[in-house]
Amino acid sequence: MQVAWGAATDAGGRRPANEDAVLAQPPVFLVADGMGGHVHGAMASDIVVRTFAEFSDAWHPDVEVRGEHVLAAIHAAQERIRSELAHLGGAGITAGSTVAGAVLTAHDEKTYWLVFNVGDSRVYRFSGGELHQVSVDHSVVQELVEAGALRPEQARESRHRHVITRAVDSGPDTTADFWLLAAGSEDRLLMCSDGLLDELSEAHVASVLAERELASAAAEVLLQDAITGGARDNVSVVVVDLAGEADLAHTAPRMEPRGQDISSVGTTVPREQIRSTEG
């Protein structure tokens, strides 16, 4: 079995700059949504991506990566954000980023996705023709939903929908949530910044994932559908599949004005029953 992916990011058409960043470097796939103004937000998300890219050099699908290893990368990114702000003389300036992603890893001699998130970027699993949100937002709206003060259908239009309660930022070391999902060829993972769901319904996203066989095509279509007419926010999408070699699109990584679109391969094993943990 092989892993194929597509990744795309765009400023969206209404924001002056793109503060999102994506990483598609097996065994790690993630999106990061920066905050703190155009310069500082882009700096924070870039630091998150570069830090995870460095840490991933020591990670391999055949060796277990645990939550503590991911958390070490998150805390290293925070330290770098704090250092960068100090270097810029940023007294009183804050900067940070969300992060949501998955690491392909071994557990009990089987292959799993270790899903993680901080903030309101999301990880979904598309399985059996249905889209399921895996991650849980760290946001004011999510807390209101959990408290019964807001119905889920109201959350999309709430004026508090972009107020997050956790971030990879210049403050004290944060915590992350984790889920362990069996990796299998019947499933597809989607990682996205909140800008995607600002523009597209989950039903629309599910229909694209169902219709587009290649992960690279699904990511591209989702991005274009979201930014057509000008998205209100930056939009980032990563789609990851486990597939046979004949199903893969072999294209070299390339950089385009709208962002990055990548497709490549790696190694994994067949699917097992789902097992979840949270920490």
User: What is the largest distance, in Å, between two alpha-carbon atoms of the chain?
Assistant: 54
pLDDT at 259: 32
Residue 279 maps to a domain: no
CA 162 to chain centre: 16
Q: Which residues of the chain have pLDDT under 50?
A: 244-279
The structural domain count of the chain equals 1
- Which residues form the domain of 149? 2-263
The CATH number of residue 52's host domain is 3.60.40.10
Residue 269 maps to a domain: no
Residue 200 maps to a domain: yes
Residue 147 neighbours by CB under 8 Å, 6+ apart: none
pLDDT at 39: 79
Residue 86 maps to a domain: yes
User: Element (H or E) spanning 149, and its range?
Assistant: none
Residue 178 maps to a domain: yes
Distance (Å, whole) CA 184 – CA 157 = 35
Residue 271 maps to a domain: no
pLDDT at 112: 93
Distance (Å, whole) CA 242 – CA 90 = 44
Distance (Å, whole) CA 72 – CA 51 = 10
Q: Taking the model in full, what pTM does it have?
A: 0.84
pLDDT at 151: 77
pLDDT at 143: 82
Residue 78 maps to a domain: yes
58-67: string of b/e by CB count within 10 Å (b at 16+)?
A: ebbbeebbeb
Distance (Å, whole) CA 266 – CA 107 = 18
Residue 275 maps to a domain: no
